[in-house]
Structure 1
Amino acid sequence: MSTFADSRISTPSKSRRYGLFVCLMAALAGLLFGLDIGVISGALPFIAKHFVLGDRAQEWIVSSMMVGAAIGALGAGWLSWRLGRRYALVLAAILFIAGSLWSGFAPSPEHLIGARLLLGLAVGMASFTAPLYLSEVAPRHVRGAMISTYQLMITVGILAAFLSNIGLSYVADWRWMLGVIAIPAAFFLAGVLALPDSPRWLLQRNRADEARAVLQRLYANPDDAQAELEQVNDDNTRPQRGWSLLRKNSNFRRSVLLGVVLQIFQQLTGINVVMYYAPRIFELAGFATHEQQLWATVIVGLVNVLATFGAIAFVDRWGRKPILYAGCAVMAAGMCSLGFLLHAGVAGLTSQILAVASLLFFIAGFAMSAGPLVWILCSEIQPQQGRDFGIAVSTLVNWVANMAVAATFLSLLSTVGEANTFVLYAILNVVFAIFVFFFVPETRGVSLEKLGSDLMAGMRLRDLGKGK
């Protein structure tokens, strides 16, 4: 009797611990993503000096990863469907290791571009598969928070890269900055090998017993596991038919287009301009030495991490749209303020502090809203029979837009001016908020199956999930 009582008490705790382990291991893909984003900002000045590179060559080194990520995202849909979400993440981990080592030993700019293309393949595959996997294993009442852990790990990775850059900058060793990422990539590989397959993917393969076993480990109550299994079973045994569904069904085209536009707007907020070129921006703000610029980027990374906790805490309480409105307002204000300060001229300690505060204000707005919430929404709004295809397309577009922004920022600064560049990003954030109001649904607490059935029934996008 005592043993029975103890087992009943321990079961919920074990399920929570197991669910947390699964979500954290999958979200570690974001850590590697963040490391590769953050490390290049600190390594780039040393790389440019070592190889004697101009602005255009530097833009190619930065943006080559996005080319690979676009290709990786495009192929990830097929891989995750054929191999399963878990093995797609395993392949991404292997590519992370190989790309990091190649980067560290690159003998020329051409080799470095090739290595970053390989890293991009890994990032593209992981950025597609990890949110998809998390959306399929997380219980709906904490789905937003669990997917947000992916974005949190991106911010932690960026901060860790910034700190690593600081330490290694004193010996000017860009090869260690790039190559050391192979170590966490190896830990990620080991962790992913211990993950279960997605229960929804198992059901699509008619492996109901295995799906039930996974759900029983994730849910403390066997009745809850069975109820979840029954709810998703009918919807998840339908085959994936992305291209044909896109051609034949206008409702599916709406969800794909919504995911595409959300990912474009995420990049047009200006976030990766800040992350890739942070030292250059701080140079514009009056920070003269490279060490000063790197320490300033560490503060950026810390704010990025802390603000992401806000999204995790409130996304399943307040909802997606209210947080997006607040974030867009904060981002627009931060970019506009920075633009006006640069226009007036940053001279003196007070102006420098205001410029840094404006940038941090923008970072906080992104980390609490568009950063995690766009990935959440893109993993939620696609119907099951086209989910892999829809998320693959939106992820591909994310990286194409990311590449375009990264490859044009330095040229944009010299063409339209420093101040006007940041004011332009402020305007784009206002447009983003307007788009959210008219087209984005509130998905908090709604099952993926309900969202999919509403969409395919022709319900207006902003009304998906409403009613019973």
Structure 2
Amino acid sequence: MLSFPHMIKRYWGLAKNSSIQGCVSSGWLETSAYTFPWSLKGMRMIILLACIAVLCGLLYGYNEGVIAGAYEPIKAEFEFSAYWGGLLVASLSIGGLIGAYLSAYLSDRFGRRSTVIIAALFFITGAVLSSVAQDLFILTFARSLIGMGIGLSSMAGPQYVSEIAPRKIRGRMLGAFQFMISFGVLIGYLSNLITLDLGYSAEAINRWQFMFLLSAIPAAFLLFGIWSAPESPRWLVMAKRSAEAEAVFEKIEPTRSEAWVKGNVKRIEQDLAEVADQKGGWLDLINPRNRPITSFCVFTFLFQQLSGINAVILYAPELFGDLGFSEEASRLSATVGLGAALALAAAASLLLIDRVGRRPLMVYGLPACALSQFLIVGGFLMGDGIGTALSVSGLCLYVISYSLSMGPLPWVYMSEVFPNYLRAKGMVVAVTVNWVFTFLVVFGFPKLNQLFTITEIFLFFAICCCIGTVYAIRRAPETKGVSLEDIYELFHKGDSKTAERPVAGE
């Protein structure tokens, strides 16, 4: 048996001889012709990119989750109808849809980085306006501005990261966006619980105003971070600024050779030249070349929303109330626990998405969501006692299964699969499904809860997850480790034209 010093010596020798292959196999490090993938300068750039993805997701999740606890204090102050209540909650989705469509124009015209800067300004403006709102109309308008920030950043943020991050960690970077959505939801839930002692109002600032104002802090950090970051090299090539694109690649991966940098830029130029006869208009998304990609992204987001996640996240306190949690503090505490399970599972997905791959997570995650929803239905049918425990267990299992699969995967796929010249518009079409169905669920769930029982609603969600499983088995590709310029081949394996396409960066 080897002693500890001998073990260290042995494995250090193996690491030197294999260029840290053990780390490479885990997906954390990327190597090809060099021993260590990133210098200190390159690592700083990777951290900056990660922070941008993290903050975009955090702002999305926080502003979505905070309304769960702010709703009752706002209702107590303004005494609005159910229609206005639904509109207040859904205003985030309305703004998100507008922001997503603005992003399609802004990110192609002015660049991905500039679009994220505009999103950060929307976040800050909306947060400050929410904190001083004195009537429901102003508050709804302010929430719409925040929604526009979410729409812009949820499009341009993943798009920017997917186009600039090294391919071996691209999935993890994009997964960080979804992880921080989940973590942001948890922070929103925690702010609801922590500020509970403030009561529904205070002399200086209302409880709900304070919760909304808090989101201005990460928005300011996002503005500072993206201001310091370079533009997407792929957008720079599209804008005929190839020399600047080469400089960005050198910053991101400074240990790469000059030949690799120039070859990567040339590969992007070739990819754009192949579609030079296409104008990159909306109709190009449904031509025979791109229709499989567009339909896959649309259906992926469709099944994400029909899994019922927004009904759980936004109305979690009400669901726990139906399960017998009568006190507001107990409902909010249970909601925080649910948010913690959501965030922890999302963190685990960061380790799995580039190691296990995208397809297995989708194929196994959807049936796990369906199973958990059947448990929720069974618990509600059984009633108090064991039934309550079963439903709570089902809710926890559901958010865990969702965070490991349908939480990050639609965002990752959407950011990867569209060709460079159509990525902005393609992402808009895909994310429109997200915002439309988010609006329908958020605005319609209270009314649906009156027309149907909670068991019937979750049974519908479970059936949708079963249908989604069949679709995933038939259609979901594996994009792990594949260059953005080569993902097209996964949707056209029988197309002879793809056989001669070189691999980017090789």
TM-score under structure 2 normalisation? 0.85
- 1:193 maps to which residue? 227
C-alpha spacing 1:302/1:248, structure 2 compared with 1 (3 Å): closer
Q: 1:285 aligns with which of 323, 336, 342?
A: 323
Q: Does 1:268 align with 2:306?
A: yes
Q: Does 1:135 align with 2:162?
A: yes
Q: Does 1:363 align with 2:409?
A: no
Q: 1:423 aligns with which of 452, 459, 467?
A: 459
Q: Shift of the alpha carbon at 1:381?
A: 1.5
Q: Shift of the alpha carbon at 1:201?
A: 0.6
Cα distance in 2 for partners of 1:44, 1:88 equals 30
C-alpha spacing 1:50/1:355, structure 2 compared with 1 (3 Å): same
Q: Does 1:232 align with 2:232?
A: no
What SS does the corresponding residue of 1:107 show, helix, strand or coil? coil
Does the CA-based 8 Å contact 1:200-1:236 persist in structure 2?
no
Q: Does 1:303 align with 2:330?
A: no
Deviations, residues 443-463 of structure 1 (Å, cap 9, x unaligned): 111111112355478759xx9
Q: Shift of the alpha carbon at 1:247?
A: 7.3
Does the CA-based 8 Å contact 1:84-1:198 persist in structure 2?
yes
Q: Shift of the alpha carbon at 1:125?
A: 0.6
Q: 1:47 aligns with which of 42, 61, 74?
A: 74
Letter of the 2:399 counterpart: I
- 1:211 maps to which residue? 245
Does the CA-based 8 Å contact 1:27-1:130 persist in structure 2?
no
C-alpha spacing 1:416/1:11, structure 2 compared with 1 (3 Å): closer
Range that drifts further, 228-237 or 35-44:
228-237
Range that drifts further, 310-319 or 275-284:
310-319
- 1:332 maps to which residue? 370
Cα distance in 1 for partners of 2:423, 2:117 equals 21
What SS does the corresponding residue of 2:355 show, helix, strand or coil? helix
- 1:316 maps to which residue? 354
- 1:170 maps to which residue? 197
C-alpha spacing 1:241/1:42, structure 2 compared with 1 (3 Å): farther
1:444-459 correspondence to structure 2 within 5 Å: 444-452=480-488, 455=491, 459=495
Q: Does 1:145 align with 2:172?
A: yes
Q: Higher helix fraction: Structure 1 or Structure 2?
A: 1
- 1:125 maps to which residue? 152
Cα distance in 2 for partners of 1:420, 1:467 equals 51
Does the CA-based 8 Å contact 1:24-1:149 persist in structure 2?
no
Structure 2: gaps (5+ residues): 1-34, 201-206
Q: 1:258 aligns with which of 285, 288, 296?
A: 296
- 1:5 maps to which residue? none
Does the CA-based 8 Å contact 1:252-1:456 persist in structure 2?
no
Does the CA-based 8 Å contact 1:383-1:455 persist in structure 2?
no
Q: Does 1:78 align with 2:112?
A: no
- 1:412 maps to which residue? 448
Q: Shift of the alpha carbon at 1:307?
A: 0.6
Letter of the 2:69 counterpart: G
What SS does the corresponding residue of 1:286 show, helix, strand or coil? coil
Does the CA-based 8 Å contact 1:339-1:423 persist in structure 2?
yes
Structure 1: gaps (5+ residues): 1-7
Deviations, residues 407-459 of structure 1 (Å, cap 9, x unaligned): 11111111111111111111111111111112221111111111235547875
Letter of the 1:337 counterpart: L
- 1:32 maps to which residue? 59
Q: Shift of the alpha carbon at 1:135?
A: 0.8
Q: 1:114 aligns with which of 141, 144, 158?
A: 141
Cα distance in 2 for partners of 1:275, 1:246 equals 36
Letter of the 1:444 counterpart: K
Cα distance in 2 for partners of 1:339, 1:61 equals 29
- 2:19 maps to which residue? none
Does the CA-based 8 Å contact 2:286-2:294 persist in structure 1?
no
- 1:21 maps to which residue? 48
Cα distance in 1 for partners of 2:124, 2:105 equals 22
Letter of the 2:453 counterpart: G
Cα distance in 1 for partners of 2:489, 2:402 equals 31
Letter of the 1:335 counterpart: Q
Does the CA-based 8 Å contact 2:280-2:422 persist in structure 1?
yes
Letter of the 1:179 counterpart: L
Q: Does 1:242 align with 2:269?
A: no
C-alpha spacing 1:10/1:458, structure 2 compared with 1 (3 Å): closer
Aligned residues: 456
Does the CA-based 8 Å contact 1:251-1:458 persist in structure 2?
no
Cα distance in 2 for partners of 1:183, 1:442 equals 37
Q: Shift of the alpha carbon at 1:344?
A: 2.2
C-alpha spacing 1:96/1:286, structure 2 compared with 1 (3 Å): same
Letter of the 1:212 counterpart: E
TM-score under structure 1 normalisation? 0.92
**Larger of the two Rg values belongs to structure:** 2
Deviations, residues 341-367 of structure 1 (Å, cap 9, x unaligned): 11222x23x443332221110000011
What SS does the corresponding residue of 2:290 show, helix, strand or coil? helix
C-alpha spacing 1:342/1:17, structure 2 compared with 1 (3 Å): same
What SS does the corresponding residue of 2:39 show, helix, strand or coil? helix
Does the CA-based 8 Å contact 1:38-1:162 persist in structure 2?
yes
Cα distance in 2 for partners of 1:339, 1:244 equals 42
Does the CA-based 8 Å contact 2:233-2:246 persist in structure 1?
yes
C-alpha spacing 1:242/1:290, structure 2 compared with 1 (3 Å): farther
Q: Does 1:373 align with 2:422?
A: no
- 1:4 maps to which residue? none
What SS does the corresponding residue of 1:170 show, helix, strand or coil? helix
Cα distance in 2 for partners of 1:311, 1:195 equals 26
Cα distance in 1 for partners of 2:186, 2:160 equals 25
C-alpha spacing 1:448/1:419, structure 2 compared with 1 (3 Å): same
Does the CA-based 8 Å contact 2:53-2:176 persist in structure 1?
no
C-alpha spacing 1:198/1:467, structure 2 compared with 1 (3 Å): closer
Q: Does 1:94 align with 2:121?
A: yes
Measured on the aligned residues, the alpha-carbon RMSD in Å equals 2.4
Cα distance in 2 for partners of 1:100, 1:88 equals 18
Cα distance in 1 for partners of 2:335, 2:399 equals 11
- 2:23 maps to which residue? none
